[in-house]
Amino acid sequence: MAEIKITKENFNEEVRNYKGVVLLDLWASWCGPCTMLTPVVEEIASEFEGKVKVGKINVDEEPELSMAFRCESIPMLVVVKDGVIHKTSVGYRGKADIVKMLEL
């Protein structure tokens, strides 16, 4: 399962109203740590297919969503379960740390 591009248009359907766990990656193309995190997030999306929905929010293209998450620094990871934010993390994280975030 590939990551889903999250926009303000599909946010309610894909995240807010989704029953289950969503891992959101807030990123930008010019961000070095974001680029380093991309393959890790892709690997998690593949390994947790059917268990965790993985979405990517480009902060340059979706400033409203960035502000809604009070994102001041990227990369930022957000774990949402049943429409409620449970965990956040700012900066590069290794795969093991991200997987631990998903344990709700």
- Residues with catalytic roles: 31, 34
Instruction: Give CA–CA dist 61/73, Å, rounded.
Output: 15
C-alpha 98/C-alpha 92 separation (Å) is: 10
Helices (H) and strands (E) in the chain, counts: 4, 5
Closest to 40 in 3D by CA, of 88, 86, 83, 77: 77
